[in-house]
Amino acid sequence: MEQIEQAVMYALGPHGDPSLKLQANTYCEQVKNASDGWQMCLQLFMKEPKAVPEARFFALQVLENTLQNRYETLDANAVEFIQQTMMQYLRKEFVENQNPASEESFIRNKAAQSLTLLFARVYPTSWPNFFKDMINLVQTPSGTPSHEKAADFFLRLCVSIDEEIARLDIPRHRDEIVRNTNIKDTMRMGDIQILAASWFELLQEFRGSNVNIAQLALKNIGAYIAWMDISLVVNDHVMSALYELLGDVQLRIAASECLADVVSKGMLPLDKLNMLQMLNVTSVLGRLDLSDPEFVEQTARLVNVLGIELCKIYMDNYVGPEGKAAAYALIESLLPYLLKFLADEYDDTSTALFAFVNDMLSIFKKQKKARQPLTQPQQEFLSALLSVVIMKMKYDEETEWGNEDDEPEEEALFSELRKNLRIFADHIAAISEELYVSYMHSVVMETMKRYKSGAELNWREVELCLYALYTYGEALPKAAMQFVNNNDTTSLTLLGEMVSEMVTSNISAYAHPSAPLQFFENIVRYYQFFEHRTEHLPQALAAFVDTRGLHHPLSLIRSRCWYLFYRFVKQLKPKMDPYVESVLSSMGDLLVIQAETPVECNTMDGMPIPSASTFDSQLFLFETVGTLISLDSVEPMKQVDYLKIVLEPLVEGIRKSMSQGYNTEDELFMLQLHHYVMAIGSVAKGFPDVPKASAATAPWVVVFKQATEIILNVLQTFNQFVLIRDAARFSFARFITCLGSEVLPYLPTLINGLLTECEITELNDFLPFIGLVAHKFKPMIHTIMDELLLPLVKRVFDFLNTTPTGTDEAMLLLELRKAYINFIVSLFNAELEGVLVSERNISHLNTILHTILHFAKDNSDPATQKMSFGVFMRMVNAWASVSQQPGNVAGFDQFVYNEMIPATFAVPMNVAFNIADGQSLLVFGEITSIQQTMYMKQSKEFTEYLVNVFFPSIRCPRDAAERYCQAIQQCGNKEFKKYFQGFISEAKS
């Protein structure tokens, strides 16, 4: 025993020789798994003087492990010994020893867990008097008072037993479920009545002297009520005590929790209704002292549970009209408390009611669906509910918007609260659009008018007003998003009035950062208003470009406004003509690029990722500039001038950096170059797309071409840096859309610069990019694609031939497979498949074919498998010879017969191929299409090959081979597919 105690202390000690700790841990495991380990540990647990608490805890762990996992190894004598020893411990520790601090709480809890596991094994078979024995420990010879320590342990044990046999949220094996059901059935036959009486007696005895014991008694009543006879609790004695305890400062929370458990007990709807009528909880609510926030929150939870249960009864289809009326009458009596607690200043109290609110709104939505109009009281409640919901969206007085000292969790919790409240507001809008619109209009307009009149408003009121207007656009259907009346475009709708008032009130100048930010969010959401009222556009633009928006002193507001302004300009592009010059001149100072050292932040799971930088938002400004410069109304030569003003500082910055040369100690050098290149690409992104396969002809083209050349110079010099490759690829993707075929001469240099050093992640992005280029510039890009195919394919093979070192690399290689196959498909789609068989590339076709064949045979990746057979189908259509006519691709027919056709049989015959799987079925469809296409193109030659060469090679009987050939000749697509499926199934059986 001493050895075990020493080993536990060594194992748990914070310091010490690591090798000794390892030996100690190993020894403890040996004791735990030894057949007699539990005996040694039980002796250690019971020895006098007591062992150290850590060793006694370990001893109980070993006993617990034996009872839970190796009970079958114990004989009847061993079980009886454990039972007697545990009873000896209980008498000694909780009856004879009156020192309240003689046992640590974690030992008491672990002892209760061990005894619970023993109980589950021996009750009612070999220990039918378990509960009577436990209650006897609690009782004194005289009957009162009870043994206080024994009472505490007994109640903890009862809680533990309920968790073991009745908790529904713990996954259990079927045998355990059957065992637990039998235990509960036996307890209901007698012991549960004794327990309920004992809990109540202990509650009454200790309510004034030991709060912890009284709380445990209430906890047991609440826990067991779910599966015991309701009359054991819902009777005059218990309920009177419960209602009294709601007035007891120390026990009222526990009493409220217990009452909530009683209310939520599963019962038949009408039985539950009768019980709730009898309990009459609403009458008690009015008499409660609600000065303590914690008790208020628990009372809100009680109201929530009661409301949920009543709504459940009301919405039950089997409850008749009388029952529904009675249930709704009780609901109506609860509604004032719902509103009261929902409006509470503490958010935890408010959120406690959310389920009840949701159920009420479900009742109203169901009523609307049934075309039953809301009653007057229902309309009044809905109006009051909307008012509370909107007011709860306001920042509380303790919160300072954007205050870095505030906990991020607090802001996140408030955002979550707002999100849920918005859902309620949306539901109310769906139930009564008229009520919603009227209320929101009054809230917004009243606040705006107060602001215009010079009244001093708290920033929280202003922010709420603007936020409420923002949510308006999500709550109503698109049809309601009208700003002028259909029959009179000179008059505004209620939404039009609110937006107009917001713009003209100059509320964007309110001296708190939350106001201008929400103002800009709103005008972007309601940009269509300015299509109807263009006279308000100058005021909105002025707010955007001054210190309220793009030039706001706070970077958080400023960077968000850069994005919002980009959206605003993009959506109102046709209306921006008169303001191009003034807007561009006001943005000039914002286009200066200054690289910053990257900062990392953590994801929700703790993974570090780069934080969004100022430059990320600045890119939106460059794109906005491109959009404004490229407007059709701007004269072509002015476009050139504007574009030079924007691009020349960027190009000059690149030249200056290149002339200085790269200093490895300058960590911002590459980042600065990257930013210059990205900014040029973003300006190009703002320009319109040129039509497919054509070239841009505007005078500004030459300005972009000059920028293109210097970007290529950067790439050629620093293509070993991923930052530069990413930026070059980004910019050229934008040049292609706005310059068209003018970019083609630069593509070979670009692609070679990107390929030589690219990583697999870049290649996965690059292949779709090349496919897009091929499609956009077919057929004029044929020569370029012919030249680039081999370097591109070689780079793909370099990666595909590597062995992945982990799951992430394996996933990237799977993605590369798909990207490679899709690239081949894109060549066929662009009618550029000729580059695969050109004089330059024909000698490498066999390698390409065999890589696709390898993917086609891989049953572990049906998605790529289907794509691979799809490529073969395209190749067969394009290159397979027709009967009596030689094919135009030498050696392809030989590949078809030697490799492809055998694969169309080998793949579905493989045991790993599951035709019942949806993706595999798609693969099978491609396979049957290849076979049918080969027959259509070569008919007799194909069938003779099957009968005389292929089928004999796989030992297929000749009659089966001939039936197969007959099917492919006579059946349509669906019939042949069905036949082939049966053919494969028979071959595999």
Q: Give the separation between CA 315 and CA 366, rounded to whole angstroms.
A: 9
Per-residue pLDDT at 568 exceeds 70:
yes
Q: Give the separation between CA 276 and CA 270, rounded to whole angstroms.
A: 10
Stretch 358-365: mean pLDDT, rounded?
97
Residues ≥6 apart with Cβ < 8 Å to 894:
none
Per-residue pLDDT at 548 exceeds 90:
yes
pLDDT at residue 774, rounded to an integer: 87
Q: Give the separation between CA 117 and CA 86, rounded to whole angstroms.
A: 12
CA distances from 944 to 66, 747, 947, 966 (A): 72, 48, 5, 12
- Cα–Cα nearest to 260, from 293, 215, 219, 229: 219
Per-residue pLDDT at 606 exceeds 60:
no
Q: Give the separation between CA 125 and CA 122, rounded to whole angstroms.
A: 6
Q: What is the DSSP string of 76-99?
A: HHHHHHHHHHHHHHHIIIIII---
Q: Which residue has the higher pLDDT, 989 or 857?
A: 857
Stretch 554-580: mean pLDDT, rounded?
95
- Cα–Cα nearest to 947, from 962, 936, 935: 962
Please say whether the beta carbons of 512 and 464 come within 8 A.
no
Question: Dihedral of the CA atoms 884, 888, 891, 896 (nearest 10)?
Answer: -70
For 488, the enclosing helix (H) or strand (E) is: strand 488-492
For 767, the enclosing helix (H) or strand (E) is: helix 760-776
Q: Which amino acid is at 706?
A: Q
Per-residue pLDDT at 600 exceeds 70:
no
pLDDT at residue 193, rounded to an integer: 96
Give the SS3 label for residue 956.
Answer: coil
Query: How many Cβ atoms from other residues are within 10 Å of residue 445's Cβ?
Result: 18
Q: Which amino acid is at 530?
A: F
Stretch 61-66: mean pLDDT, rounded?
93
Tell me which residue has tokens 């590597």.
Answer: 802
Per-residue pLDDT at 163 exceeds 50:
yes
Q: Which tens digit of pLDDT belongs to each residue from 924-950?
A: 999 999 999 998 988 888 898 988 998
pLDDT at residue 604, rounded to an integer: 46
Per-residue pLDDT at 598 exceeds 50:
yes
Q: Give the separation between CA 942 and CA 939, rounded to whole angstroms.
A: 5
Beta bridge partners of 601: 609
Beta bridge partners of 740: 695
Q: Which tens digit of pLDDT belongs to each residue from 3-53?
A: 888 888 877 777 667 888 888 888 888 888 888 899 999 998 999 888 889
CA atoms in the 13 A half-sphere facing the CB of 628: 26
Q: Which residue has the higher pLDDT, 603 or 108?
A: 108
Stretch 517-540: mean pLDDT, rounded?
96
Q: What is the DSSP letter of 695?
A: B
Per-residue pLDDT at 379 exceeds 90:
yes
Beta bridge partners of 599: none
Q: Which tens digit of pLDDT belongs to each residue from 820-846?
A: 999 999 999 999 999 999 999 999 999
Please say whether the beta carbons of 866 and 919 come within 8 A.
yes
Give the SS3 label for residue 892.
Answer: helix
Q: Which tens digit of pLDDT belongs to each residue from 216-267?
A: 999 999 999 999 999 999 999 999 999 999 999 999 999 999 999 999 999 9
Dig out the tokens for 130 from the structure: 């378990």
Per-residue pLDDT at 405 exceeds 60:
no
Mutual angle of helices 174-188 and 148-165, in 10-degree steps: 130
pLDDT at residue 406, rounded to an integer: 55
pLDDT at residue 608, rounded to an integer: 47
Q: Give the separation between CA 201 and CA 207, rounded to whole angstroms.
A: 10
Task: Give me the percent of the chain exceeding a pLDDT of 70.
Answer: 97
Stretch 598-625: mean pLDDT, rounded?
74
Per-residue pLDDT at 602 exceeds 90:
no
Dig out the tokens for 952 from the structure: 């004999």
Stretch 425-436: mean pLDDT, rounded?
95
- Give the mean pLDDT of the chain: 91
When pLDDT is cut at 50, 70 and 90, the band that residue 433 belongs to is very high
Q: Give the separation between CA 264 and CA 226, rounded to whole angstroms.
A: 8
